[in-house]
Amino acid sequence: MHVKKTPHPFLQSYIKSYWYLEVPFSNPGLQTTVMPEHALYFYPRAKVRADYDDNTTKFYTTIINIPNQELPVMSWNGHYVMLKVLFHPTGFFRLFGIPMSSLGSRAIEAIEVFGSEFKELYDRIEESVGFEQMRFLLDGFFLKKAQSPLKDTLAIDAAIHAMLEATVLSSVDEAAKNAYLSTRQFERNFIERVGILPKRFSRIVRFSQAMKLKQEHPEYSWMTIAYECGYHDHMHLLRDFKHFTSKVPSNFDFEQALIY
């Protein structure tokens, strides 16, 4: 069962959607893939296990996820429920005022960052029956935050949103111009709001589009995928594939990967 719904209208400048996924069986391991998303994840039925490339393992009940974090293999035992809050690119930063560059290179347990208030929210979600109750709790929590957001909405936020929606690789100079900033000012503010440099964010956006298209149309050649996603040629796409997955396409299992 997979459901997506929009948040309360007052929250829609910060939060794009709420996601609910329920799987009534265990999974031995799914490879995560790089995505241009800022999200909060809740796992109210069972912790998820994350196995990283350096052979370390972590267990999570909640996760703060930003682009460019390390990509573990995720697994779980038993009944799996995932509740996701998908933010607009700078929505998390504007609500909470946390510099995204301070969140590190691995997924972070959200309860450790936000403390008792967030733990109380998780506990109430854990006790809930169904997505509608969970969505009601999320709206209540974020509406309180949105009454006094810690950062103002600026022109750069619209420029960053446009980069996420772009169908071709974004020009940083053009984005800076749209934000009424110099390129250096734009990059500095971008790192604070998004967590990475704008050029890397644009690469992640384009590569994520390519992975989605390949999953939806496995019959497409990589040359076709490259053309459709704005790469100069398929070799540029294959270089990004190796960079972001540490694999070549022939060794990547799309059926056991989290791509959306």
pLDDT digits 0-9 by tens, 76-87: 998 899 999 999
Number of residues that make up the chain: 260
- Helix/strand/coil for 67: coil
Find tokens 């809930």 and name the residue. 128
* Phi, psi torsion values for 19, nearest 5 degrees: -120, 145
Q: For domain 2-146, give its CATH number from 3.50.50.60, 3.40.50.620, 2.60.120.10, 3.40.50.150.
A: 2.60.120.10
Mean pLDDT of the chain: 93
Residue 176 confidence (pLDDT) above 80: yes
φ, ψ for residue 34 (rounded to 5)? -65, 135
- Could you give the residue range(s) of every CATH 1.10.10.60 domain in the chain? 154-260
> What number of CA atoms fall less than 13 Å from residue 124's CA on the CB side?
16
Inform me whether the pLDDT recorded for 167 exceeds 80.
no
Q: What pLDDT, on the 0 to 100 scale, is given for residue 100?
A: 94
What is the share, in percent, of the chain residues with pLDDT greater than 90?
79
Q: Hey, which residues does 59 pair with through a beta bridge?
A: 49
CA distances from 122 to 60, 92, 241 (A): 12, 18, 36
- The answer to whether 157 touches 180, Cβ cutoff 8 Å, is no
Q: What is the pLDDT of residues 40-50, one digit of tens each?
A: 999 999 899 99
| pLDDT category of residue 201 using cuts at 50, 70 and 90 | very high
- Give me the amino acid identity at 31: Q
DSSP 206: H
pLDDT the model gives residue 183 = 96
Residue 184 has pLDDT above 90, yes or no: yes
- Calculate the dihedral angle through the C-alpha atoms of 22, 25, 30, 36, rounding to the nearest 10 degrees: 0
Considering the chain, tell me which residue range(s) the CATH 2.60.120.10 domain(s) occupy. 2-146
Query: What residues form DSSP beta bridges with 17?
Result: 86
- To the nearest 10 degrees (0 to 180), the angle between helices 198-216 and 155-165 is 30
pLDDT digits (tens, 9 = 90+) for 205-217: 999 999 999 999 9
d(CA 125, CA 138): 9
Q: How confident is the model at residue 251 (pLDDT cuts 50, 70, 90)?
A: confident
pLDDT over threshold 90, residue 256: no
Please state which CATH number belongs to domain 154-260: 1.10.10.60
Residue position matching structure tokens 């594939």: 241
Distance CA 96, CA 148 (A): 10
Identify whether the C-beta of residue 57 lies closer than 8 Å to the C-beta of residue 38. Answer: no
- Sign of the C-alpha dihedral, residues 97, 100, 104, 108? positive
Determine the average pLDDT of the residues in 189-207. 95
